[in-house]
A and B are shown apart, each in its own frame.
Chain A
């Protein structure tokens, strides 16, 4: 008998139609994973497309040069020359400071941005309320005495447009709220609400002291290549090379790179979230495989009949392979449609981080990836049950009983293994396929291998835990059965109904619970840790940008505050950069690892990055000359004496922090050549020290004797421990006396960081939730697969006198216990995984959270009961005789 593809497809489609309800859940389980994957990649693609299309607006220029230092005279001359040639330049300065209402003087940490309103932005526009009329520039609203601020600032300071605000030494009028800035994404991290003002106004405020570490960006707009057409990429590249040579301290990027951190972050996030989506897809595929196995069990007679009529195993497998394919395609298409919804939801989760909403865009490559991944995963995981068709014998039509073998156990085991070689091969193929998919999605073969093996191991462990839990529950039931209330006993006994969800199903649901709860436990521990660090005598408030002539006054003010405990730490900081190490220029140094503040590497003639290290260094001197500063411990070498310090101008010495020493491979006796402004110092390393990271001196990693740094531009920073209940009063006192000094409460700063962490983890949890949904749908599918058995049971119970509420109670207990078992297994593993991660990676203590655990158990049980009833809601309404008549 030849079975054509057309015939096979016809049989497959008819069977699907007749089991619509059962397969609806299967389709949904595929759709969930595909939705997550296409949603993530679709959003990433839209975002990337927006970055490209609006690149110039996002940068607000063709090129940007970011630095923390003012241009030297030579650099300024170079910039002037470039401007004279037709390339416009403007400066944007960003810093963190304090602002207040001039009436109440309660200071608020704000993000200040100063621009030349006649020129900024070169591309894009600043959205204000009230809006600028067409053709008007910011110069209309930003004068020497005016600012525009974020809505959040007005709310927190109880102000409105038209009121005044105190910033630094000046009072400004608020003339509008700023809704959007085109280059918000590429600017500095905003620690507080925005205040936008002119460069002149900033100058007037006194916030920009000599040596202040404000972030400066030079924006450039090149001449148009043609009227109405921006400059060519070749011209931009040439200008970039010129700027890199002119401003060696600066990070120069062109509009095509937007912000390298953004695109790099986007790539990493896309990979991570895609892998999480792959987990949901794998679970969905497991669901399809389980449903197909159950379906084939019910079709044993049909398969046996076909074989007795001459069909070969391969021909029969064709039918069910086509069926699987159809399910995967339908599920994939549904998933793509749902994925649009996922894609649209991401801006909602990331609103506070992104400050920008990419338009909705249908990305065909994301759709293709999602569909293909869904299809391949489903086909792979359905291989083992399909291969079982080979073992169906035609005699099953007449007899179901299996003949026992007389062979000894070892022989039987070998025979079984030999007979299942193909199945073992299928499992290996599944693993290889998974590795390939994960590698393709993440863009890394290494990640693909680790991810797949890790997932496989986790699933196996969860499977074992689930099986063990069910076994122990069975023992409990056997030991107590007649002592339990009958409804509970009946509900628990139903867990072991033939064909009921197995340990594999519980492991699948448990994996989803494990992901969500694991992320949540880690997030909670990380966030909780941020709220600590107020140990007695350690700084919980930091003072930033204290000018040298304010130091004495600050000490006096602090001494007069009763809420200040312990001795405040005030440290001087001189900005510097590394010129050479042991005579080798910094440009030629190779470090074991780079730091973000090293700045991007310069490039050689072939465009390859050249390692340039240590562009932004903090130098300081200690409170006493013959000992390390507070919190620093010598681990190598010897600190200088007071006499050596006094003589340091002849023989400069330096102590270097442990981390920087590691980067350089430096030891006592080596030499460092450091530059600050126009000066250079070649100092010999006297000692290597380790900072405890809990004192203000931890900010600087190079300590020199004071005479070596005398006369260089210096800014002071302070660390104070204040009674936590009096931090607001201390901030106010500082603000009144020194409005240009920024006072940062650690608690408030940690709150900002906490919000960022929460935003990020919301997205991760959102995607992890897809795995839970996949697990719940699998559960519903399996319950739907036992529908007929349930109907018969309901009929018998009704015949014996059971009311519908009683039957409902029995089933609800069954579903709830299923959910509780899966949740317990998942949460146990989540606790284990989170505790290991928190202990070894975050290096903090892990605390078990019983309340959260109980809540997660209850919610999972609730989901499971809902899913169970969704899969069996018409069971209760069956008339007994309708069913019995079919017997």
Chain B
């Protein structure tokens, strides 16, 4: 599903060049739940961004579903990304001028309206209901709490049944209760949709839910281990 080969990323700031990723190789199979861990500055968010095609690597390639994305033109990359990847940001990144329903609907409108507007709306409403926001669909982000905004972002990530979901510290800006709730919803949606989930986190407790942990340090993979995932309260309930 995801193939990373010899990935390097360097940044020039003034006269200094900073090597963020120094050569990363791994495969992620369909349906895997992978946590990418590392301390602050280890390069994990940069790696996630490169997986999503949000930037170009300095060297190496990234392939999604057999398509090398590193050299695609920007607009083609955007279209591929829209259809293939659902993204959950740490700071929600909702469009402030759109309602919760419209934010969830947005990827559908941007990428695939072949099913018609009604089908998209129905799907958006269903997702918002599944994350517990059926009464808040017409609210603007400024009217929602942090936890509610992240739930909207979750619903948005899944609207197009993406094969891959990338989550960058999805609970990083939330308190522990809300964070747990978000994690449970993420896992619930992941299970229901059968997506490949890649989660970036510095929190070991969060990483324990994954089936595989890739650990980065100073831009390199220092460990890549399968594990038995910890069962969440949700999973226990299921």
Contact = CB atoms under 8 A, between A and B. Distances in A.
Interface of A: 481-482, 486, 489-490, 493-494, 496-498, 792-793, 795-806, 879-882, 884-885, 887
Contact of A804 (B75, B87, B96): B75
A804 B54 CA distance: 14
B49 A881 contact: yes
A56 to B, nearest CB: 68
Given A800-B82, A887-B91, A881 B54 contact: yes
Contacts of A798: 54, 74, 78, 81
Contact of B83 (A486, A801, A880, A885): A801
A885 B93 contact: no
Nearest to B97: A493
Contacts of B55: 879-882
Contacts of A880: 49, 54-55
Contacts of A885: 45-46, 49
B79 A799 contact: no
B106 A800 contact: yes
B75 A486 contact: no
Interface string B44-60: 01100110101110000
Contact of A801 (B95, B99, B107, B168): B107
B79 A884 contact: no
B86 to A, nearest CB: 9
B24 interface: no
B87 A799 contact: yes
B95 A793 contact: yes
B148 interface: no
A802 B94 CA distance: 14
Contacts, number: 92
A799 B97 contact: no
10 contacts: A481-B102, A486-B110, A493-B102, A796-B94, A800-B82, A801-B79, A802-B82, A803-B79, A879-B56, A884-B54
B78 A802 contact: yes
Contacts of A799: 52, 54, 81, 87, 93
A521 B102 CA distance: 44
A887 B90 contact: yes
Interface residues of B, number: 39
Contacts of A793: 95
A804 B49 contact: no
B89 A884 contact: yes
B7 to A, nearest CB: 13
Nearest to B101: A482
Interface in B166-181: 168
B91 A800 contact: no
B97 A497 contact: yes
Nearest to B76: A803
Contacts of A489: 102
A882 B54 CA distance: 9
A481 B137 CA distance: 13
B109 interface: yes
A801 B78 contact: yes
B149 to A, nearest CB: 13
A802 to B, nearest CB: 5
Contacts of B107: 800-801
A780 B60 CA distance: 41
Contacts of B54: 798-799, 879-881, 884
A124 to B, nearest CB: 67
Given A497-B97, A796-B95, A801 B111 contact: yes
